[in-house]
Structure 1
Amino acid sequence: MTEVTGASLAAVTRAEYCVIACAEAWRDAGEILASPMGLIPSVGARLARLTFSPDLLLTDGEAMLVRPDGTVEGWLPYRQHLALVTGGRRHVMMGASQIDRFGNQNISCIGDWERPTRQLLGVRGAPVNTLNNPTSYWVPKHSRRVFVEKVDMVCGVGYDRAAAHADTSRFHRIPRVVSDLGVFDFATPDHSMRLASLHPGVSVEQVRAATGFTLTVPDEVPYTREPTADELRLIREVLDPGDTRSREVGS
């Protein structure tokens, strides 16, 4: 596949870089279930299936396994879904209302748990996801309200808490966090969050200003990779011709 160059490269949007960054979470994943939550992660998972991860399984969110075009190719009853989750053959990309330096995630409430100022989704399956299979995160608007020093309630388990319970968290792994500013991982000695790449047009200073904790920043930070010409065609003409991705992440 050829890379996008010249005039077409200048037209690549921030949302499309986010799609590429999300898709990379499932690169060469093999036959596992991708569970993307959110529009851009869903486009990313379908793009990965059509390109570099052809064995990836996609679900309609209910009981069917589907191809990127929505064609049904298998049945996934709830009991089998639970077996996949507990067996580790799944990589979920969840959202995060709050996330801290060690990857603890909150989607339940803001403020004190007994008297929260805002009620959110609830814990849902976050603890099981983070303890049984790889769990990445997608944040469409990077800010200090989301990237916080300490989450108000732990739903998804971070590296510090997993280390304290190594007997039950041996399968814990957070491959990446993708936001509208860049890509982050935990490839540091203490598993604290690191800036892995910047989306083109974003500076390190912007990321630091929008993050509520001290972020590990390497001396040289690469840019998120460019889409290939074929990937850009698939995003624009096949997977999201209506450009709904730009409603989630602006230019």
Structure 2
Amino acid sequence: MSSPTTNTTTRAEYCVVACAEAWRDAGEILASPMGTVPTIGARLAKLTFAPDLLLTDGEALLIGDVPAVGAPAEVTEGWLPYRQHLALVATGRRHVMMGASQIDRHGNQNISCIGDWAHPSRQLLGVRGAPVNTLNNPTSYWVPKHSPRVFVAHVDMVCGVGYDRAAAAGPSATRYHRIPEVVSNLGVFDFATPGRTMRLRSRHPGVTVDEIVAATGFPLTVPDEVPYTREPTADELRLIREVIDPGGIRDREVPA
């Protein structure tokens, strides 16, 4: 497949669009993006193809406008106390996009430690809310630096629950469990395979399939034809550059 026509779209902007697609036609659910690029993506979705998406100020308020990254909201739609937030989580009415220090081919995610649990070589964030997120509402992942150290054969500790472990736990674990997509600085991945293992869905322009396979530490399902991640429209680029992230913070997370 030939490469798209050369333009000024940056890798970070392709990643923003790919993250935004996680919330396409999501309806009135709560978006919980973690990281700069997912945050821009959620706001882009809200301003374009997912107008009913609920956004927060990152604390306890539902916001009614879409401010630039780092700017305060000017419109408040409602109050989201912790109890109500947990109610949204527990009933599948939230779609969170988390980070992953490690992720395996089944979608198990680790953000707690690297190495043996008894004597880890690195202490990370801790389990946090990953098990509750993954078992109770759709959870996607954002990885700004795709490498075999992140995409691993086996995670050192399971924080976010993957498809294999959810299935083993039974219906109570699978009712709301869903991993719509994994976005990295190289491409977009999903689990649309018979065994619910990771599949390459698209690659960002300028990236080859061989580069992605080499940067992945487990066998990746690769279709015969791998499309490029879709181009942002002119209006989407305007919103990203002029409205949502005029300071270009996205390029710090994914350098050009």
TM-score for the superposition, normalised by structure 1? 0.96
Aligned equivalents of 1:196, 1:74: Cα separation in 2: 37
Give the match for residue 15 of structure 1: 12
The DSSP-based 3-state class of the residue aligned with 2:55 is strand
Give the match for residue 52 of structure 1: 49
Aligned equivalents of 2:168, 2:176: Cα separation in 1: 14
Give the match for residue 81 of structure 2: 77
Give the match for residue 231 of structure 2: 226
Deviations 1:106-160 (A, max 9, x none): 0000001111100000000000000000000000000000000000000000000
The DSSP-based 3-state class of the residue aligned with 2:77 is strand
Alignment gaps of 5+ in structure 2: 68-72
Aligned equivalents of 2:14, 2:42: Cα separation in 1: 14
Q: Tell me how far 1:165 sits from its aligned partner.
A: 1.1
The DSSP-based 3-state class of the residue aligned with 1:174 is coil
User: Where do 4+ consecutive residues of structure 1 move more than 6 Å?
Assistant: none
Give 2:218's match in structure 1, choosing from 213, 221, 228.
213
Give the match for residue 169 of structure 2: 165
Q: Tell me how far 1:74 sits from its aligned partner.
A: 1.6
Give the match for residue 209 of structure 2: 204
Q: Tell me how far 1:73 sits from its aligned partner.
A: 2.1
Q: Tell me how far 1:167 sits from its aligned partner.
A: 2.4
Worse-matched range after superposition: 87-96 or 61-70: 61-70
Q: Tell me how far 1:23 sits from its aligned partner.
A: 0.1
Aligned equivalents of 1:227, 1:120: Cα separation in 2: 34
Q: What letter corresponds to residue 143 of structure 1 in structure 2?
A: S
The DSSP-based 3-state class of the residue aligned with 2:172 is coil
Aligned equivalents of 1:166, 1:187: Cα separation in 2: 20
Give 1:118's match in structure 2, choosing from 110, 119, 122.
122
Give the match for residue 36 of structure 1: 33
The DSSP-based 3-state class of the residue aligned with 1:103 is coil
Give the match for residue 90 of structure 2: 86
Q: Tell me how far 1:68 sits from its aligned partner.
A: 1.2
1:145 aligns with 2:143: no
Give the match for residue 111 of structure 2: 107
Q: What letter corresponds to residue 86 of structure 2 in structure 1?
A: L
The DSSP-based 3-state class of the residue aligned with 2:140 is strand
Identity %: 78
Aligned equivalents of 1:68, 1:122: Cα separation in 2: 31
Aligned equivalents of 1:167, 1:53: Cα separation in 2: 30
Aligned equivalents of 2:78, 2:10: Cα separation in 1: 34
How do residues 62-73 of structure 1 correspond to structure 2 at under 5 angstroms?
Answer: 62-66=59-63, 67-69=65-67, 70-71=73-74, 72-73=76-77
Q: Tell me how far 1:34 sits from its aligned partner.
A: 0.1
Q: What letter corresponds to residue 178 of structure 1 in structure 2?
A: V
Q: What letter corresponds to residue 68 of structure 1 in structure 2?
A: V
Aligned equivalents of 1:32, 1:173: Cα separation in 2: 15
Aligned length: 245
Cα RMSD (Å): 1.0
Aligned equivalents of 1:167, 1:74: Cα separation in 2: 34
Aligned equivalents of 1:130, 1:68: Cα separation in 2: 27
Aligned equivalents of 1:176, 1:145: Cα separation in 2: 19
Q: What letter corresponds to residue 16 of structure 2 in structure 1?
A: V
Q: What letter corresponds to residue 110 of structure 1 in structure 2?
A: I
Deviations 1:73-110 (A, max 9, x none): 22111110010000110000000000000000000000
Aligned equivalents of 2:184, 2:54: Cα separation in 1: 24
